[in-house]
């Protein structure tokens, strides 16, 4: 009862409600502007949370995440430009519906399925995060060491595109995370005598540089594309149509939850699996790909079912499942909090206040999403030539705000160039960021294990939990190798 | 170039992957043989070599080396999907790109001397001119946003940005 009062005290603050609403509005707005991504918005919003209370700060970022996921589907449906990779599946049926004059119906289907999936995902988060954290309380340094190994391998093995490039990106991220003073011996590592690097590379300039600056560079580097105008025409979704899609929405949400809870898998896989599952089971399977409302609903359910579930490994184990949860992890750290099983013991009220806020964000998404359908053209018609200079200004101010140093602006621009080169060479940025976050955790748990055991390596195979993690780590490596050869053979055959 | 040289280049399935692999290979060699031994201090007495501050950077350097070789091999043997290659862009005029670089320099070189507001206005106007914004009222944003956002940072969020010149 005492805890409940504390939770309500933490949650029932006007700041939290404003943060959620503002977050969802920013997310939907940014998501519905082609070329801007939810990741970019979350990265840019992070410096604004410095002076906020932890609950409001995290809820703002979660709101942007959720809004961005829905916002991405608006452009996918109306102008065949997915706002996020996960929305690529939505356009398979959404865009043909828009061409047939049923854009509004597709957008409503996307919104309703997004909200329902988001709600189911949140429920899963509330139930499973606490349960998993309870199990994780039995983990020591060797168990966490293997858990981090598993997370790294699965993030790389499931990275889109080339596995070799995913691995290289993660290794580069780990390497950069080691710059600074060594945590045990205090010796300098790759600082080159620069005192700005002694305290390691700042997370926020790296983040903004990697996810916002490349888009700006690309915009000024490439040939201008004519602006496409679109309107949400037609009638909305009927109750009968929603009922018809309900089974696919629930199944898609559960697929999203399962996939989202595994670090590294992501919303894109969930959207496509949910879509193909719905197509397989639907009596209208022949209509899929030609403008089937159930296809839009299934894709969006899979996509949004991931949102709450990706927070399960983050909150219970302290392991980020994707780029956005990695940024949210950064926000926790900025506020002096470390997600993981210990947080469930020491800050339980804060976690439950967050859960309440996350549940409330689904409701806000419904309201804001409806308004976005109405006013989409107002948002999407802002020319990027006006938008990007303002985005750059936010980037610079945000990077400088971390330590009040021009060095951080340099750092941000340097990582912007790195991010641009990544895009041009096909190296994925997500494993790089996750490597940067997991690198120090990996080293810290390795050293702690060795210190505990006095250098005895058998500590790494000390019991069933470590055996389990070793098995799934090697399983994930085997899967990655299998996928590599399968993709290579498929390419050779197609050539 | 001799005809055999040309045919060797033609045999490479993905030149960009090969170039990326070579660059990363060189970086890993510099790391493993120069940067890690010279720029990472190691205590004279160590109970376990795995506790050394050099241990993980060393392992990572060698792994980068190994995987960059794999990337080179991948570039030689496996062709990329040329139709859906997201790496390729159609380049626009250089003038636009150079003005963007100048705007970047304005931010890094003048941010503390001119203050956040003036550099914000200057860089935003430059970028508006780079990708020409022909609606005159839009230039009002170039004035209003730097002022508004700076004041938001300073007064609402208590983040001290440099306000005025010097």
Residue ranges of the domains in chain A? 2-141+200-433
A183-215 b/e (C-beta count within 10 Å ≥ 16 → b)? eeeeebbbbeeeeebeebbbbbbbbbbbbbbbb
Contact state of B92 with A224 under an 8 Å Cβ cutoff: yes
Least confident of A37-46, A474-483, B2-11, B19-28: B2-11
Q: Are B98 and B68 contained in the same domain? A: no
The pair of structure tokens assigned to A333 is: 């750290």
pLDDT of A229 over the 70 cut: no
Q: Are A108 and A236 in contact (CB under 8 A)?
A: yes
A236 — pLDDT class (breaks 50, 70, 90): confident
pLDDT digits (tens, 9 = 90+) for A256-292: 888 888 776 667 778 888 888 888 888 887 888 888 8
Grade residue A237 by pLDDT with cuts at 50, 70 and 90. confident
Residues B72 and B16 in one domain: yes
B105 and B60 in a single domain? The answer is no
Tens digit of each residue's pLDDT (9 = 90 or more) over B24-60: 999 999 999 999 999 998 888 877 888 899 999 999 9
Residues 6+ apart with CB under 8 A from A203: A330, A333, A436
Boundaries of domain holding B133: 94-156
Asked if residue A332 lies in contact with residue A54, where contact means CB atoms within 8 angstroms, the answer is: yes
Whole-number average pLDDT of chain A: 84
Cβ burial, residue B59 (10 Å; 0-12/13-18/19+): middle
Structure tokens at A387: 């938008």
Residue contact A223–B107, C-beta within 8 A = no
- Res. A11 pLDDT band, cuts 50 70 90: confident
d(CA B49, CA B47): 7
B61 and B117 inside one domain: no
Residue A493 CB contacts under 8 Å (≥ 6 apart), including other chains = none
Nearest to B97 among A220, A390, A406 (CB): A220
Q: How many domains does chain B have?
A: 2
Radius of gyration of chain B from its Cα atoms, rounded to whole angstroms: 25
- State pLDDT tens for residues A406-457: 999 999 999 999 999 998 888 888 889 888 988 998 999 999 999 888 888 8
Query: How far is Cα A65 from Cα A328, in angstroms, rounded to an integer?
Result: 10
Among B61, B67, B97, select the one facing A167 at the smallest CB separation.
B67
Q: In the prediction, which pLDDT does A309 show?
A: 87
Q: What is the pLDDT of residue A341?
A: 85
Minimum CA–CA partner of A449 in chain B = B51
Q: Are residues B15 and B53 in the same domain?
A: yes
Q: Mutate which of B36, B100, B140 to disrupt the A interface (most A C-beta within 10 Å)?
A: B100
| Residue A192 Cα, gap to closest chain B Cα (Å) | 7
Beta bridge partners of A188: A181
Per the CB < 8 Å rule, is B133 touching A427?
Answer: no
Residues of chain A in contact with residue B30, where contact means CB-CB under 8 angstroms, are: none
The partner residues of A181 in beta bridges, in order of sequence, read A188
Q: What is the pLDDT of residues B105-125, one digit of tens each?
A: 999 999 988 999 999 999 999
Under an 8 A CB cutoff, do B116 and A400 touch?
yes
In a domain? residue B102: yes
CB contact under 8 A, A167 and B60: no
ipTM: 0.89
**CA end-to-end span of chain A:** 66
Mean pLDDT of A6-25: 87
Mean pLDDT over A92-104 rounds to: 83
CA distance B7 to chain A (A): 18
Residue B98 domain-assigned (yes or no) = yes
Q: Is the pLDDT of residue A28 over 90?
A: no
Has residue B84 been placed in a domain?
A: no
Average pLDDT of B1-11?
54
Task: Name the residue with higher pLDDT: B98 or A403.
Answer: B98
Size of interface A-B (CB pairs under 8 A): 190
Check whether residue B13 and residue B67 sit in a common domain: yes
Q: Which chain B residues are closer than 8 Å to A455 by Cβ?
A: 47-48
Rounded Cα gap, residues A293 and A102, in angstroms: 9
Burial class (CB in 10 A: 0-12, 13-18, 19+), A354: buried
Among B23, B49, B77, residue at a domain's last position: B77
At residue B1, the pLDDT reads 43
- Same domain? For B54 and B106 the reply is no
Distance from CA of B1 to the nearest CA of A (A): 26
Q: How far is A110 from chain B (nearest CA, A)?
A: 26
Quickly list DSSP for chain B: --HHHHHHHHH-S-HHHHHHHHHHHHHHHHIIIIIHHHHB---S--S-GGGSTTHHHHHHHHHHHHHHHHHHHHHHH----STT-TT---B--HHHHHHHHHHHHHHHHHHHHH-HHHHHHHHHHHHHHHTT---GGGHHHHHHHHHHHHHIIIIIS------S--
pLDDT at A32 over 80: no
Q: Give domain status of residue B82, yes or no.
A: no
């Amino acid at each position: 009862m005492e805890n409940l009062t504390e939770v309500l005290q933490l949650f029932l603050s006007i700041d939290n409600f404003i943060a959620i609403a503002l977050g969802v509005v920013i997310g939907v707005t940014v998501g519905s502007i082609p070329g801007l991504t939810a990741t970019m918005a979350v990265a840019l919003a992070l410096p604004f949370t410095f002076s906020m209370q932890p609950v409001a700060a995290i809820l703002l970022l979660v709101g942007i995440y959720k809004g961005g996921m829905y916002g991405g589907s608006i452009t996918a449906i109306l102008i065949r430009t997915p706002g996020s990779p996960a929305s690529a599946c939505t356009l398979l049926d959404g865009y043909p519906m828009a061409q047939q004059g049923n854009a509004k119906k597709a957008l409503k289907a996307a919104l309703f399925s997004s909200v329902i999936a988001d709600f189911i995902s949140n429920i899963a988060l509330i139930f499973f995060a606490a349960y998993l954290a309870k199990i994780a309380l039995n983990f020591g340094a060797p168990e966490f060491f293997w858990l981090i190994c598993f997370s790294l391998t699965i993030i790389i093995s499931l990275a889109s595109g080339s596995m070799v490039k995913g691995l290289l990106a993660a290794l580069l991220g780990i390497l950069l995370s080691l710059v600074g003073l060594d945590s045990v011996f205090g010796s300098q590592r790759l600082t080159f005598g620069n005192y700005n690097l002694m305290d390691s590379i700042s997370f926020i300039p790296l983040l903004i540089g990697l996810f916002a600056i490349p888009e700006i560079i690309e915009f000024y580097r490439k040939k201008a594309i004519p602006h496409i105008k679109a309107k949400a025409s037609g009638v909305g979704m009927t109750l009968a149509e929603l009922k018809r899609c309900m089974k696919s929405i629930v199944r898609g949400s559960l697929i999203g939850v399962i996939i989202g809870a595994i670090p590294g898998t992501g919303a894109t896989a969930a959207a496509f699996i949910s879509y193909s599952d719905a197509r397989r089971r639907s009596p209208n399977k022949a209509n899929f790909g030609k403008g089937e409302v159930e296809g839009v609903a299934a894709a969006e359910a899979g996509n949004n079912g991931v949102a709450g579930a990706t927070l399960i490994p983050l909150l219970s184990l302290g392991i980020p499942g994707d780029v956005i949860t990695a940024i949210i992890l950064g926000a926790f750290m900025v506020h002096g909090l470390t997600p993981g099983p210990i947080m469930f013991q020491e800050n339980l009220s804060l976690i439950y206040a967050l859960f309440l806020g996350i549940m409330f964000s689904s409701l806000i998404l419904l309201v804001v999403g409806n308004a976005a359908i109405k006013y989409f053209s107002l948002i999407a018609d802002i020319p990027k030539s006006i938008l990007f200079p303002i985005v750059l200004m936010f980037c610079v101010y945000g990077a400088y705000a971390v330590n009040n140093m021009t060095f951080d602006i340099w750092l941000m621009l340097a990582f912007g160039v790195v991010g641009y080169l990544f895009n041009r060479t096909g190296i994925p940025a997500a494993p790089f960021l996750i490597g940067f976050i997991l690198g120090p955790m990996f080293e810290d748990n390795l050293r702690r294990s060795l210190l505990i055991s006095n250098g005895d390596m058998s500590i790494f195979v000390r019991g069933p939990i470590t055996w389990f993690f070793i098995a799934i780590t090697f399983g994930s490596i085997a899967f990655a190798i299998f996928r590599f050869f399968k993709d290579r053979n498929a390419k050779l055959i197609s050539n | 170039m001799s005809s055999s040289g040309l045919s060797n280049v033609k045999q490479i399935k993905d030149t960009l992957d090969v170039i990326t692999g070579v660059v990363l290979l060189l970086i890993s060699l510099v790391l493993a043989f120069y940067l890690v031994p010279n720029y990472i201090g190691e205590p004279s007495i160590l109970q376990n070599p795995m506790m050394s501050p050099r241990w993980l950077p060393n392992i990572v350097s060698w792994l980068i080396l190994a995987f960059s070789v794999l990337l080179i091999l991948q570039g030689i043997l496996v062709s990329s999907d040329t139709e859906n290659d997201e790496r390729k862009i159609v380049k626009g005029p250089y003038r636009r790109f150079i003005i963007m670089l100048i705007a970047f320099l304005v931010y890094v070189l003048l941010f503390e001397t001119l203050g956040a507001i003036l550099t914000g206005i200057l860089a935003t106007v430059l970028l508006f001119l780079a990708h020409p914004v022909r609606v005159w009222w839009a230039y009002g944003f170039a004035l209003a946003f730097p002022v508004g956002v700076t004041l938001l940072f300073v007064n609402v969020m208590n983040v001290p940005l440099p306000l005025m010149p010097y």
